[in-house]
Amino acid sequence: MFVPLHDGVPLRFMRAPYVTYALVSGCIGIHIALWFWHGSSGDVAIMAGFGLIPSVLLGAAQLPEGLAHAPAWATLFTNILLHASFAHLLGNMLFLWVFGDNVEDSMGHVRFVLFFFICGLAGSLLHTLMYPESEQPLIGASGAISGVIASYLMIYPNVRIWGLAFKWIPVHIPAMYALGAWILFQLASAYVDPQGNVGWWAHLGGLGAGAALTPLFIHRGVKLFGRRPGL
């Protein structure tokens, strides 16, 4: 629906967003390494072993013997670093690249990495709550990145973002409209797709966590909702 390309907001508190760089590089590196190691035939095994399967997490189902896998509790986090395809990876990394640097700048490196994975955890847990019997793996950084989007929207609602609407129409519009429409799309999709074929509830869990945690994680000099420092 909306693909962000550039926002042009300068950093205020740090020289470079090293955590954002590391997360983007890590996700890309893991995907490429797994692609070369397993190829397309190994995708299912990787997703099953390291993606989040709600029924396995809750103990109602078990993975096949001999399948390499992470402990069930660890899949709450390992699923965040996996992606189903290069298109899935590219979409998530674009959002993280455009918005992650400024959110990291507003929080600091350590708090940002904690914020990122807590939002991802919230997304994983809400998905599990909504689909406790599901045997379909949840993978992708979308829940964590949704938290980043919520935070960016709270800090920079009036910043104009360059992007593509409907994947091909160039636009230059305020974040409150671009990201607000994106959030409404997630809400609508969660109800239109009740089977959970896409992790819409993971996105919403990340959004909620991001909105709740942002006031607690940002620097004291960062103002919310476009207010100027000192107001």
pLDDT in tens, the chain (231 residues): 789 999 989 999 999 999 999 999 999 999 998 887 765 545 778 888 899 999 999 998 888 887 878 899 999 999 999 998 899 999 999 999 999 999 999 999 999 999 999 999 999 999 999 999 999 999 999 999 999 999 999 999 999 999 998 878 999 999 999 999 999 999 999 888 776 568 899 999 999 999 999 999 999 989 998 765 444
Coil vs helix vs strand at 160:
strand
For the chain, what is the total number of helices (H) and then of strands (E)? 9, 3
The backbone region for 154, taken as left when phi is positive above 0, alpha when psi lies in -120 to 50, beta otherwise, is alpha
Side chain identity, residue 31: H
Query: Angle at the Cα of 183 (from 96 to 215), degrees rounded to 5?
Result: 70
- Residue 65: in which H helix or E strand, if any? none
Q: Does domain 2-217 bear CATH number 1.20.1540.10?
A: yes
Chain centre to alpha carbon of residue 148: 7
Please tell me the pTM assigned to this model. Answer: 0.92
Give the chain's radius of gyration (CA, Å): 18
| Cα angle value 75/105/84 (rounded, 5°) | 30
Distance CA 190, CA 171 (A): 26
Distance CA 133, CA 175 (A): 37
